[in-house]
Homo-oligomer: A and B are copies of this chain.
Amino acid sequence: MSRIRLEIRIVPRPGLLDPEGKAIQSGLQSLNYTDIHEVRVGKILLIELDADSTQDAINQATSMCQRLLANPVTEDFLIKLHEDSENSE
């Protein structure tokens, strides 16, 4: 078993209404960022788990998304290995 860090992104499906994205877009426009065409907002989950292999970890995460984390009707998810690059700015 080794400790593996995964990153799961869950974003609203293209074409579906995203009210949070619209709100952020209009907030940005009122701050004079007028060249914005679209904002979509999703979630990112950073998960640290023990697994036999990377593939095993990804399989577990896929099952977590299907069972709990993502809404299969409205959201898409994408699972990646997490590189340690979060500390910007």
Closest to A89 in B: B77
A76 to B76, CA, bound (A): 24
Q: Looking at the complex, which one of B27, B67, B76, B79 makes contact with A68 (CB distance below 8 Å)?
A: B27
This chain: how many copies in the complex?
Answer: 2
A21 to B42, CA, bound (A): 15
A58 to B79, CA, bound (A): 25
Q: Looking at the complex, which one of B14, B38, B60, B77 makes contact with A47 (CB distance below 8 Å)?
A: B38
Closest to A3 in B: B37
Please report A residues at the B interface, Cβ cutoff 8 Å.
1, 3, 9, 11, 14, 21, 24, 27-28, 31, 33, 35-51, 60, 62, 64-65, 67-69, 76-79, 85-89
